[in-house]
Amino acid sequence: MKPQQQSLIGTSEAMQPVIADIESSARSGAKVLITGETGVGKEVVARTVHQKSARQAAAFVTINCAGVPDSLLESELFGHARGSFTGAVRDNPGLLRQANGGTVFLDEVGEMSLRMQALLLRFLETGEIQTIGAATASAKIDVRVITATNRNLLEAANAREFREDLYYRLNVFEIRVPPLRERPSDIPVLLEYYLQWFGEHHRHGPLAVSKAALDRLTSYGWPGNVRELRNVVERLVLRVEGPTIEPDALPVEIASHVPAARDQGPSHARESVSDQARVDALIERLRQKESF
């Protein structure tokens, strides 16, 4: 079950370039490549770009390229004519045609096979769709392509796993979404949001977070980023009956974390002093059970 959260939560300094890039890429209409670790919110960023763009009234269509066999991905994207292969009982227009006038979001684009990369490149160059089993290419389609990857595509290009020409075509605008451990001041805000959301959804009374628990939550590294945080909060809402979440209710990898680690290590050093002050202020407000 997924919160119907479409807007981007996060006001940390590390997120400011992301927010600025969303604004300017939404205005420009250019292709966007969104990079970042798993669960950082790449799809949320893509959706936000679409919603702020001139295409907002048209469709936003997403497809995850990872783990989809070539033949299926090709027909999903470009469509197929009835009878073009066994099981093709109806015409399928394909996602690109369905997104005409809007935006198509290709997630995990780094996982595309070289053959699919060639087909995508041809589409980007001509704007024409070659539907499987159709005699001729269709009229031009007007879709904005936004892609995302958690791979380093330049390295993949050097290893000849990703076409360099496709990389430069997709990467007109690159938006790098920082991992949660580089923006700890966003953690209390996300916690508050998901506590409220899951609290309402599971009909749980208000849940506060003790200072000790919040210290651990804000200093934990969150390798799964916002997705991991959301899942942890949902489990807490389901498990904790009392009014306050204490450290012993936290998953062991978070509970056993030493909060002082926040002040060490290269990634945390990037967070500014003012961000740290805001973390402390938010912790204090949460401790007072203040509602956001």
Q: Which residue intervals of the chain are DSSP H helices? A: 16-28, 42-52, 70-78, 95-98, 114-126, 153-158, 164-170, 186-201, 211-219, 225-239, 252-255, 266-269, 273-287
Closest CA to 267 of 190, 183, 176: 183
Is 94 a residue that touches ligand ATP (CB under 6 A)?
no
Is 104 a residue that touches ligand ATP (CB under 6 A)?
no
Is 42 a residue that touches ligand ATP (CB under 6 A)?
yes
Shortest Å distance, C-beta 220 to Mg ion: 22
Q: Please tell me the distance from the alpha carbon of residue 41 to that of residue 8, in angstroms, as a whole number.
A: 8
Among 48, 117, 131, 150, binds ligand ATP (CB under 6 A): 150
User: Cβ contacts of residue 261 below 8 Å, gap of 6+?
Assistant: 219, 268
**One-letter amino acid for residue 49 of the chain:** V
Residue 2 or 90 with smaller CB distance to ligand ATP: 2
Q: Which stretch binds ligand ATP (CB under 6 A): 4-12, 137-145, 208-216, 279-287?
A: 4-12
Q: Please tell me the distance from the alpha carbon of residue 161 to that of residue 117, in angstroms, as a whole number.
A: 10
Residue 175 or 213 with smaller CB distance to ligand ATP: 175
Cβ-contact 130, 137 below 8 angstroms: yes
φ/ψ of residue 244, rounded to 5:
-130, 140
Is 107 a residue that touches Mg ion (CB under 5 A)?
yes
Is 181 a residue that touches ligand ATP (CB under 6 A)?
no
Residues 25-54, one symbol each (x = binds Mg ion by CB under 5 A, - = not), give ------------------x-----------
State which of positions 191-230 bind ligand ATP (CB under 6 A).
Answer: 226-227, 230
Interface with ligand ATP (CB under 6 A): 2, 5, 8-10, 36, 38-44, 107, 148, 150, 226-227, 230
